[in-house]
Amino acid sequence: MAFFKSLGLASSGPVIDGNGVFLRTPSMADFEEWSALRGQSREFLAAWEPLWPEDDLTRAAFRRRIRRYERDLHEENGYAFLVFRKSDRIMLGGATLTNLRRGAAQAGSLGYWMGQAFAGKGYMSTAIAALVPFAHSMLRLRRIEAACLLSNGASIRLLEKMRFSREGTARQYLSIAGAWQDHLLYARLATDPLPAPIAPKD
């Protein structure tokens, strides 16, 4: 895993190099590709995400999103990334480290999404395999937490492949697709073994 402050792609955030993918912080220049990918994947993603605002795919909404990401980055409260394929620099999806808690906790929450056309091909596994060392080493997080719906078999397999341990079930943990739903809670520690190297299936 390599970590760079800038590769000329984003104004201020880190770039993380993975096996066949790279992750970088979003900018306004990503709007068209992001909006197209999210729009094409809307039905696919809707079952796993909170309800989208009516203007979610507009430039104004994306600008607000970027401002929030920049504020979180500046305050070191969270890191948002877009995931790209190295071979052609196509956008594949996104990942976030949010709710960073320092002091006695040294913990944060992992989230992720993948465009429908790229799901099931190992890209997100590869991206998370690169993001985990960044979170533990560069951000000094002792603990990375994640949650997924009980019915989300793909996410369960991903987290367990990444050596996250299941810790329990949280009742009505998040409002997903317009309903409060139970979630499985996962976490991995900095002392847990790293996942085995993974290559995406192009």
Structural domains of the chain in order of their starting residue, each with its CATH number = 2-189 (3.40.630.30)
Q: State the pLDDT at residue 26.
A: 97
Q: State the pLDDT at residue 195.
A: 77
What stretch of H or E contains 160?
Answer: helix 153-161
- Burial grade of 21 (CB within 10 A; 0-12, 13-18, 19 or more): buried
- pTM here? 0.90
Please give the chain's pLDDT, 202 residues, in tens. 444 443 333 446 789 999 999 999 999 999 999 999 999 999 999 999 999 999 999 999 999 999 999 999 999 899 999 999 999 999 999 999 999 999 999 999 999 999 999 999 999 999 999 999 999 999 999 999 999 999 999 999 999 999 999 999 999 999 999 999 999 999 999 999 887 766 677 6
Give the integer Cα–Cα distance in Å for 51 and 117. 21
* DSSP helix, strand, coil percent of the chain (3-state; round to 5): 30, 35, 35
Q: State the pLDDT at residue 77.
A: 92
Question: Euclidean distance between the first and final Cα of the chain, in Å?
Answer: 20
What b-and-e string marks burial along 51-79, b requiring 16 or more CB atoms within 10 Å of the CB?
eeeeeebeeebbeebbeebbebbeeebbb
Q: From its phi and psi, is residue 140 left (phi > 0), alpha (psi between -120 and 50) or beta?
A: left
Smallest CA-to-CA distance from 65 within 46, 48, 49, 52 is with 52
Within 10 angstroms of residue 192's Cβ, the number of other Cβ atoms is 16
